[in-house]
Chain A
């Protein structure tokens, strides 16, 4: 018993002690510099805090009435943008997703589709919206196009990943019957990826609604404009009403899509 060691240390994640200290030092240095460059305007902060409290309190007295028409108009616009852009996005994402699946598409098609997807995914919605507003004018049309554009990349990428993961057995079996390419996709691939596509579409519907609430900030339609105006006028009770409506719709949508996904499974 006496021969056994009395100390033991867990082997560290990074074996070299020098590298460990160096990395630790760099992280600490970065954090210190980053923190130092946040200039906080304490006077402004102190002035804002009572306002913050007033805002939190206004969640218990939301005002749906005074700007009721604007809220309804804004929500309707957001919902219209959400629905149309999701449908349009799915319609365009399906061919793109087929093209971006390595096991289906020839190499040049694959690369082209992947490029489109990458572009759509790297550009933040609001940036795209700024440009669409410049091109198509203010209003929900620009917003709808923005949401469509980002839905395409999102759905196509995940759809392509699902197609690449299909069970290869039925693929060969249907091809062996002498089916055409379209028949092959229809019989061998579609049944396997349909649940995933439906799930993705519902998920994207949800995201699009949340995003549609933001686009109004740059003039691309939706409830965001109403919220922005309310905050500009310091009408916190109206802003609270808008936020509560958004939260309620998001939660309702999430709940419903959960139910639907359950049934699809």
Chain B
């Protein structure tokens, strides 16, 4: 009598899994070879020395530069805030058009709304900024529009998912009173999605502060412009100060966002 052998998977299943892993490993190896070919390894081996050099030049920060970054910092916050507000205004109707249960027209309007959301999400804020700078010119306006255009997708998606997940009996009850479709939205749907809506807004605002800090690199306003200029001029103490300012803004906005979201829930 032979002792039965316990195996977690059948032999064939095991093979399929091994093949999957092998295939994945091949892809990664290929990717790595690609990157390695495009890399000047002398620079890489030199990196620790470079980093040490850079760090030593970065300290201490140049505090006297502070007044020069106040306006850019203010612009950065404004880009994030106004951009987020604009996105809320634009994304709300799109979300209602995209949600299966509130879309007035499933054949054309819903796919259209979903397409807008997908395109807006696929393209990063910075790429939007890159495009908008060539169209509306460099400055805060390009930044605001870039933030808004990317946030529409983020908002639209989370909001329409929230709309699709509402409790349908609440809106059914409003329908049963003889309310018009607009009233069913206002009473049966809006109150249910309002908390999600507020939470997502604040969360996205927090992300947008982070994003708008780098928009200046492509000329779309805010503190990124100073950062980029200081880096290209190798003015490292200035760079340190700018980084501190950005980190401060990010930490504060994250704190505000967390507090507001906690208050809503």
Contacts and interface: CB of A to CB of B under 8 A. Distances in A.
Interface of A: 31, 34-35, 37-41, 44-45, 47-49, 51-52, 55, 76-77, 79-84, 87, 122, 124, 126-127, 130-131, 134-137, 139-141, 144, 210-211, 213-214, 217-218, 221, 224, 227-228, 231, 234, 239, 243, 246-247, 250-251
Contacts of A221: 35, 38
Contacts of B251: 122
B39 interface: yes
A141 B213 contact: no
Nearest to B133: A231
Given A34-B78, A124-B210, A231 B32 contact: no
Given A34-B81, A51-B134, A124 B213 contact: yes
B43 A136 contact: yes
Given A127-B243, A139-B39, A231-B130, A251 B118 contact: yes
Given A41-B139, A127-B246, A250-B122, 11 more contacts: A44-B137, A45-B137, A49-B135, A51-B134, A52-B135, A55-B134, A80-B32, A126-B126, A135-B51, A141-B36, A214-B126
Task: Give the size category of B's interface with A.
Answer: 35 or more
Given A77-B34, A80-B31, A243-B123, A137 B40 contact: yes
A81 B214 contact: no
A71 to B, nearest CB: 15
Contacts of A45: 136-137, 141
A215 B67 CA distance: 30
Interface string B129-163: 01100111101110010000000000000000000
A37 B34 CA distance: 46
19 contacts: A31-B82, A38-B140, A38-B141, A41-B137, A41-B139, A45-B137, A48-B134, A55-B131, A124-B211, A130-B217, A135-B54, A136-B39, A136-B43, A137-B44, A140-B34, A140-B38, A210-B122, A218-B217, A227-B130
Contact of B124 (A40, A55, A137, A213): A213
B74 interface: yes
B122 A247 contact: yes
A77 B137 contact: no
Contacts, number: 150
A211 B124 contact: yes
A48 B135 contact: yes
A217 B228 CA distance: 11
Given A124-B213, A137-B43, A80 B34 contact: yes
Nearest to B243: A127
A35 B211 CA distance: 20
Contact of A34 (B40, B50, B82, B118): B82
A40 B137 CA distance: 9
A132 to B, nearest CB: 9
Contact of B35 (A81, A122, A137): A81
Contacts of B27: 83
A87 B28 contact: yes
A41 B28 CA distance: 48
A10 B181 CA distance: 23
Given A48-B134, A76-B34, A141-B39, A217 B217 contact: yes
B191 to A, nearest CB: 12
B247 interface: yes
Contacts of A211: 124
A84 B218 contact: no
Interface string B236-248: 0000000100110
Contacts of B217: 126, 130, 217-218
Contacts of A51: 134-135
